[in-house]
Amino acid sequence: MSRSAVREIQVNGAIAQRGEVLVPTLIGDPVHGTLSCHAAPLVAGSLRAKGRDVRIAELPQSDDSGVDGDLVLYLVTCQQEDGSTAGIAAATAPGDTVAAAAARAAVDEWAAVCATRRLLIAASPWCSGALHAASAARQAASDYQGTGRKVYVLTPAAMPAETTSELNDLDAVITPWLNDVTAGDVVVFPAYGATSDIRAEATRRGATVIDGTCPFIAAAQTAAARAADRDQQVVLVSQPGHAATDAIMSQAPGHVTAVETPAKTAAVHASDTRQITVLVQPGVVLETAAPIVGALRSRYPSVKPTVSAEVCYAPSDRLGTVYSVAVGSDLVFVLGDPNSPDAKQISAHARGAGTKVHVVSDVEEIKPSMLSGVHTIGVAESTSARAGLAAHALTALSGLGRLSVARRRLTTEKTSSVLT
């Protein structure tokens, strides 16, 4: 796509300190009128990475007269998807040659990767169970705010960062403990469920309980309890550290063995192997569970599944979506904390498609070199992404030229059929 050459413009009414680079989010350009600079966080990130002192601000007026001004602005324009014009710019104090060189270089390097691109976004990482629990917590916090009754949301609370922020604003307490709960307070159980001990403790303290347990996990808890009532040994196909494991196991004390790898099926023992039943924990990717179930059946051919528990396809659908986005992209940005297990999992899955992957916890971490030669950008949001990160990334990338956006979600549809 075409882009303009770097223009040097005098600006009055704004000041930068010596050594400082001002990156505008809005420019009053005498040629194009008011320009939005959506890529400002990208320019700022490049400058900060090189040790420059950066300030982000609006510059609603500028002058192309050539007369010395309070700032020198370096500006490139590019076309947007809607036909408007956007700016990529940075400004410094007059005569500050070192800062000016850095500012112009940053504008140049981002202008060099302006292009017409497509953004392919994977659907939200939050399943219906997590969103149900988040809604229940938000509703409880809203209903009881100002009543004198504290609302406690038990962790781990699987919910979007935006919901966590809302709960804090509504004075809800997000906590793993019931130590401070008193009679009349409200306790919200998370999507992962709560152990039998926690449930009993909430009742003993006289709390009003709002159960946000995911229906799939609630079904698994019921299935485990029923299997224990029949004196069956339940093999729970889980994954290390999964938050729902304890809640399910607590329903059948002494009757559940959690197994996370095919090799660990050797730890399963029962006096009567016909009394072994297998339960795939909701939240575990079915493709990951299959080898474990296969190893168990190889060892104990008579093992049967717990038929009363629903199968949760959401984790498989999510990874399928990420893989599909990666296959269709030249590059995938995984949004979130690079150290979070979720970000690591979806990054590995995207790389499995043979696509280059960058984990980004802040928009300013995106560098021009990442986008060189890239025509389709995939975006997959981790559950560890901070509030608003996906929207900020989309906006920033839109400032680099025409950008079309498509969203992708793969879903498994359960149907019943009659064979004739």
**Residue by residue, what is the 3-state secondary structure of 294-340?**
HHHHHHCCCCEECCCCCCCCHHHHHHHHHHHHHHCCCEEEEECCCCC
191 backbone φψ class: left, alpha, beta (φ>0; ψ -120 to 50): alpha
Q: 8-41 pLDDT, tens per residue?
A: 988 888 889 999 999 999 998 888 889 999 999 9
Read off the pLDDT of each residue in 238-247 and give the average, rounded to a whole number. 91
How many C-beta atoms lie closer than 10 Å to residue 82's C-beta?
A: 7
Of 51 and 270, the one with more pLDDT: 51
- How many angstroms separate the CA atoms of 165 and 137, rounded? 12
Which pLDDT score is estimated for 417? 58
Q: How confident is residue 221, by pLDDT bands cut at 50, 70 and 90? A: very high
- How many angstroms separate the CA atoms of 293 and 316, rounded? 16
Q: 192-219 pLDDT, tens per residue?
A: 999 999 999 999 999 999 999 999 999 9
- Architecture of the domain made up of 120-124+314-408: 3-Layer(aba) Sandwich (3.40)
Which pLDDT score is estimated for 339? 96
Q: What is the domain class of 128-215 according to CATH?
A: alpha beta
Which pLDDT score is estimated for 69? 77
Q: 70-105 pLDDT, tens per residue?
A: 899 999 999 999 889 999 999 999 999 999 999 999
Which pair of structure tokens corresponds to residue 253?
């004390």
120-124+314-408 and 128-215: identical CATH topology: no
Provide the total of helices (H) and of strands (E) in the chain, helices listed first: 12, 19
Domain boundaries, the chain: 7-113, 120-124+314-408, 128-215, 230-305
Q: For the domain covering 230-305, report its CATH number.
A: 3.40.1010.20
Global pTM? 0.89
Residue 14: which residues within 8 A CB-CB, separation 6 or more? Answer: 22, 57, 59, 70, 71, 91
Which pLDDT score is estimated for 61? 75
Q: 131-170 pLDDT, tens per residue?
A: 999 999 999 999 999 999 999 999 988 899 999 999 999 9
